[in-house]
Chains A and B, each alone.
Chain A
Amino acid sequence: MEQYLIYNSLSYPILTVIVAVPLVGSLITLFIRGDRYLKIWGLMVTLITAVLSLPLYSNFDLTTAKYQFAEFRDWIPFVNIDYVLGVDGISVLLVLLTTLVMPLCILCSWSYIKERFKEFICVLLLMEAAMVGVFVSLNTVLFFIFWEAMLVPMYLLIAVWGGARKDYASIKFFLYTLIGSIFLFVAIIAMYVTTGTFFIPKLMAHQYSFSYQMWIFWAFTLAFAIKVPMWPFHTWLPAAHVEAPTAGSVILASILLKMGGYGFLRFCLPMAPAATFYCMPYLITISIISIIFGGYLALGQNDVKRLIAYSSVSHMGFVTLGIFLLNDIGIKGAILQMVNHGITTGALFILVGIIYERTHSREISDNSALGMMMPVYVTFLVIFSLSSLAFPGTNSFVGEFLVLLASFSKYKIVGGLAVIGAILAAAYMLRLVQKMVWADSDGHMHHGDKSHLFDLNFRETATLAFLTVFVFWIGLNPEPFLKVMDTSTTHLLEQLESGRHVVPTGKHHALLNGVGESIKHVLALK
């Protein structure tokens, strides 16, 4: 095991603790009465988890690609299932993103949620435990358990506290994700049958035949593509986002979508390297379509949440594009873009939630011309919108720049197409900001409307200010973040390179082959 793991040397088993604290916290919630105490309890638990997770950054060993802070226990010995946790440069930022975003989810629900508060806090904390669990599991069974465990709390978040069409949205979310998980499950079992292990690093080290790789690659890809979501599997996302309560949207955008990107990096690339290289043209094509299609749809939306949801499709397209360019800059850009998207889109959803509490509408037209009445709100809106359109000096710029750099240095046409996404981003975000701040008013539209259009209170300001710090920190000094992923990315690329030479066999890929060749031809992927 030592060849893969560096055991945890902190005074507490950090990974178990940050999974267990919210889990236990959620159970204790059931014994607390009174909304006020529930809120404070929820905030305390998430804050404690956040603080306890910080050593993951400060004690992170930058020089190794092994899994750090690892814990290993026997669990079900007769089928070789162990309890193994660990993080590397790819997952550690996502774990931290999760633990740091969760307190904000509680804060943004402070006055938003009016009913069933106990259940709400309980579900949120369960969600946190499951999400952290997904990122830290090094065993496919454990991974799958956490993966499925996210499904129910998220379903409940939408179905119980959602908007008018919550039933439709929650079922759609559930079904899409469930179908993806079935394929994931099949792949996990199939790999166990072949290799006799569920331990992820060992599964990576094993060399599979080409056609086997193709099968598991597409099984994984389907599961993760739904989660990301990539076009054409994206339709659940706008529905879910629009109906979910603010905290649900934030979790969905900031963390859940990242599981798809994480899955690609953890499973597809290292376990099926030859297939990855083989299928790269398709994935790049789909990413480009997601980028342009998502952006184009966002341009036409009149519902703020829906607009941001489609913008997520576009931004996550940059993530998958970066991943499947299969080079160092692209993958780093993709991971950074995931973190950035978590920060920026999370903040945008919090902003939508704030205005929804005041006007009870998500339509742009009902929330227009706020500049005069809510200057602080508008300032944050401008900051996060600029961040979302990758304004230089903000976080998203760095991620997008790296992905573009990777595309232009590899395939110029792909880069050129991705730029369309950047143009669209500027168009739909500036349109949104213009309408929400001014529309076509002379600035005095809501004068005398002070009763419900009051500016941000301290809680709301603090929530957004916290995220603003990261917008500029990553935007101006991304070095510390890029350094964290450096060694692991290099290692991942080595795994890819060593595994790519498995020769394609059999004729059953004739169709794939033909289409792939023509895509390569069109995009000049030579």
Chain B
Amino acid sequence: METIITSKIVLTPLIPMVTALLIMASKNKPNLRESWSVCGALLTFLSVVYLLPHLLAGGSYKYTLFTLYPGVSIKFHLDGLGILFAGTSSFLWIMAGFYCVGYMRGLSEHAQTRFYFCYAVAVGGAMGAAFSANLFTLYLFYEIVSIFTYPLVAHHQDEEGYFGGRKYIVYLMFASKAFLLPAMVLVYVQCGTLDFAIGNVVPGIFPHNAAPLLVKITYLLCIFGFAKAALIPMHGWLPAAMVAPTPVSALLHAVVVVKVGVFSVARVMLSVFGIDILNKLGLGIFTAYLASFTIIVASMIALTQNNLKMRLAYSTVSQLSYIILGVAMLTPNSITGGIIHITNHAFAKITLFFCAGAIFVATHKKNVSDMGGIGWNMPFTMIAFGLASLSMIGVPPVSGFVTKWFLALGTLDIHNTILLTVILVSSLLNAGYFVPVVYTSFFGKPNPGDNPSSGFLEGSPLIMFMVIPLFFCAVASVLFGIFPDFFLKIINLMVVR
């Protein structure tokens, strides 16, 4: 099918931006403001759905908005990878839209208009990144996401918030200026263009006679430049960002922001360098080991965390590397496993964060050790938590299993037992830090000092605003595990088997 040139695809990144302005304009009317947020999310998702049929039929869309310099332009192009990320993020924004209402009102947070404004812009930035057709456009939206999430991280405007915010912006801006900017220039110097090779992941855009050393340097600059992918040692910002309100941690630091990072890494690996060069220079397997290291180390750190959100943060660091690991193994199976994890991890991790937030709003508890017996007060929340944990661990039939199945197949394809061991060991580690939470919440004893909170806590309307979306996400996780075909079909569009 043909590539359609249409400005319609600009709509998807544009809708959240317009939503943000509407939110700003109705700052004194909370109900209107929050309905804008939900409507914007809904419209964004619908615009993605609208583009889907043509893509499933094998076509694609593209549109050039501005040309800055020959080969450097603001240009959009939608393919399988992009629509998977965009669809996931925009759908979860709808869930988060409802959840935010419960959370922010439940805690009577300050500066809510700023919060919703930045939230919408950040999602818009992610949409733009998903739709970008060249490195410059990707960089532009990547940076928009960085800047507009700073006010969200530092939202509480207390000492802790400012400290976290500073760490966050320093990591991200330093990496993008120090690594990404030169990487982009070097790509242009070597290729004469920044446009992705979309539609075929094999050739990349580098000329055949490119100097290997320079290509390697460019590659390293790229993968460390996208610090949002949180590869060790560029992961420090993610735990620091957990000072943000939980809806931010949930949608942005489990789905939108971090996925912009891994999406960008995957995009650069597949559409800029291409499988050929990565194989030839041994960069693929190098990245795979780097990701494996991150998976294991971050999981071990997660084991030691008592604060639930911190535990989830390190779990995120580790899970993101599954995506990179999958792509880096460069076989059709592994790439499928990696990319499908964008969706699988998103649904599961947002559930976990939503749960952490709901628990905090209902009981003001942050630490795992304080959560003894809480499952009887908040059964739906903790059941959802349990389901999402199963997905993280990779137990069938929950969606995480699909990821690990394809990743394992990938390691067998390249006959690498070390990587296979990493996947298996990391699953054990995942179980090691998630199972205790579920166990404590149902079978643990409340701390002696606490006055035991009694009764069913999920009845009040504000809490319902949180519990319904989170339960929905958990159920979706299970469904995606049982019926993964739809996502596999989208991924097959770009991965040649």
Contacts and interface: CB of A to CB of B under 8 A. Distances in A.
Interface in A414-441: 415-416, 419, 422-423, 425-427, 430, 434, 438, 440-441
A440 B162 contact: yes
Given A392-B136, A476-B74, A438 B157 contact: yes
Interface stretch (B181-189, B236-244, B332-340): B181-189
A477 B68 contact: yes
Contact of B154 (A391, A423, A438): A438
A398 B169 CA distance: 23
Given A391-B143, A392-B139, A441 B69 contact: no
A443 B166 CA distance: 17
Contact of B69 (A409, A416, A422, A478): A478
Nearest to B169: A430
Contacts of B136: 392
Contacts of A443: 110-111, 157
Interface in A397-416: 398, 401-402, 404-405, 408-409, 415-416
Contacts of B189: 405, 408-409
Interface in B182-222: 182, 185-186, 188-189
A441 B185 contact: no
B158 to A, nearest CB: 7
Interface string A472-514: 0000111100100000000000000000000000000000000
B147 interface: yes
A391 B147 contact: yes
Nearest to A482: B69
B450 interface: no
A96 interface: no
Contacts of A479: 67-68
A180 interface: no
Contacts of B185: 401, 404-405, 408, 415
Contacts of A426: 173-174, 177
A337 B16 CA distance: 32
A393 interface: yes
Contacts of B25: none
Secondary structure type dominating chain B contacts: helix
Given A393-B140, A422-B177, A442 B182 contact: no
B383 interface: no
A426 B72 CA distance: 22
B69 A419 contact: no
Contact of B181 (A404, A430, A440, A476): A404
A478 B74 CA distance: 12
Interface in B33-68: 65-68
Contacts of B65: 476
A425 B181 CA distance: 13
A509 to B, nearest CB: 33
A423 B147 contact: no
A386 B147 contact: yes
A443 B111 CA distance: 9
Interface in A437-473: 438, 440-443
Interface string B377-389: 0000000000000
A404 B169 contact: no
Contacts of A477: 66-68
Interface string B132-147: 0000100110011001
A401 B173 contact: no
A194 B116 CA distance: 70
Nearest to A418: B182
A442 B158 contact: yes
B425 interface: no
B485 interface: no
A520 B331 CA distance: 45
A422 to B, nearest CB: 5
Contact of B182 (A419, A425, A441): A419
Contact of B174 (A392, A415, A423, A442): A423
Given A392-B136, A392-B143, A405-B188, A415 B69 contact: no
Which 7 pairs between the two chains have the least Cβ-Cβ distance?
A392-B140, A409-B189, A423-B177, A476-B66, A442-B157, A408-B185, A426-B173
10 contacts: A393-B140, A398-B69, A401-B185, A408-B189, A415-B185, A426-B173, A430-B173, A440-B159, A477-B67, A482-B69
Interface of A: 386, 391-393, 398, 401-402, 404-405, 408-409, 415-416, 419, 422-423, 425-427, 430, 434, 438, 440-443, 476-479, 482
Interface of B: 65-69, 72, 74, 110-111, 136, 139-140, 143-144, 147, 154, 157-159, 162, 166, 169, 173-174, 177-178, 181-182, 185-186, 188-189
Given A426-B177, A427-B173, 4 more contacts: A408-B186, A425-B177, A441-B157, A477-B68
